[in-house]
Structures are given as C-alpha cells and as structure tokens.
Copies of this chain bind each other. A is one copy, B any other.
Amino acid sequence: MSLKHAILGFLSFSPFTGYDLKKAFDQSVAHFWPANQSQIYRTLAELDTEGLVTKEVIAREERLDMKRYQITEGGRQALRQWLSTPHPPADTREPFLVQVYFGGHLTDAELLPVLQHNLQAAEEQLAGFTALYQSQAGRPNPLADQRAVFLALLTLEYGLTSLRAYRDWLAAAITRVQAHDYRPLDLTGPVNGHR
C-alpha cells in the first residue's frame, strides 16, 4: 500500500499534522499519488496502531486536539524496505481512451470536440508542469542533499515527458482525423528510438 509509505516518506523529513501532510501531498506527489484528507487521517491512525509512527497530542481548549505525527525507527525500516523492493505498477484507467477506442460510433463533428478538449487540458497541464519544473530547478540549494532533490525532481520530469508524448500523440491524431488519414504508423521508421 503506497499511501502508507508515501506518508512515511514525508514523516521521514519532519513531523507533520494530517492537515500539513495533505498540503505536502498536493504540492509534490499529487500527480502520481493523490491523497485526500479523510484517507490521510485514517491511514495515520493505522500507522499509529502499527507502531510505525507516534503521535504527539497538542491540546487546544475548545477545539479538537491537534496531533503531530513522527516516524518511529520501525517506520523508517518499513519505508526503506518498501523503497528498495520493486512493486507491480498500479493499473491505469483512462476514460478518454475508452472514448477513442469506440469513437467509430461518432461523426467527426462529435469526436473532434472531445479530442480538442483533451488536447487543451493537456496543454494547460503541461504549461503548469513546465513552470513548476523551472521554478524548482532554478533555485539550487547548496544545503540540501543534491541527490535527493534530483530524485524528487525526476518524478516531475517524468510528468513532463509523458505529458509531452500524450500531447504530441493527441495533436497528431486530430490532424489525421481531420485529414481522413487512417493509415497506421510505420514503426520501423525514425520514430522508434530503440536500437
């Protein structure tokens, strides 16, 4: 279960409240592991009963107690263990591709808006990722562990390259649909960068 280990990952940097963890997720790993609030609170409680984290209860009169979680030595071990073991990929579900697959039922006038809608969404997301990447890459911090920073940034790089591939594929698809060019690609050509 990756959510547990992602939480342990954040707690390995510093103690967090559930609320702050939610923000940390949204600002860093949400594009490959979104987590919602109620899920985080439940999972923290589980990690606590498993002894992988401890909680420090901060009483606040008239309001719910605030709880700051810390990782335990067992938690660190579980994290390292999980990090160094290969895990099967979670399978992806893309409603948009289902639409394309059965797109034969639609006319061009019905299909193209759907394709264009997705293209625009991809362009926007790509612009956001690019800006984010550049702002992150533009402030090298000599105090930080360069390698750890690099690895974290690598996941954003993945988002960028896969989004670009998606956008390019989709833009080409739109052109082909518009031109009624239904020929398959020639994979033996120069597109195939392998070997």
User: What residues of chain A have their CB less than 8 Å away from a CB belonging to chain B?
Assistant: 2, 5-6, 9, 12, 28-29, 31-34, 79-80, 82-106, 110-111, 113-114, 117-118, 121, 126, 130, 133-134, 136-137, 145-155, 157-158, 160-162, 164-169, 173, 176, 180, 182-185, 187, 192-194
Contact = CB atoms under 8 A, between A and B. Distances in A.
Identical copies of this chain, number = 2
B114 A84 contact: yes
Nearest to A79: B105
A133 to B, nearest CB: 6
A2 B104 contact: no
A158 to B, nearest CB: 5
A151 B184 contact: no
Contact of A117 (B32, B86, B98): B86
Given A85-B114, A162-B165, A101 B184 contact: no
Contacts of A180: 147
Residue of A9, A79, A158 with most chain B CB atoms under a 10 A cut-off: A158
B87 A96 contact: yes
B168 A161 contact: yes
26 contacts: A2-B93, A2-B95, A5-B102, A6-B98, A6-B101, A9-B98, A28-B101, A29-B97, A32-B98, A80-B110, A84-B113, A84-B114, A86-B114, A87-B96, A89-B94, A100-B152, A101-B155, A103-B151, A104-B147, A104-B151, A126-B194, A150-B183, A157-B169, A157-B184, A161-B168, A164-B165
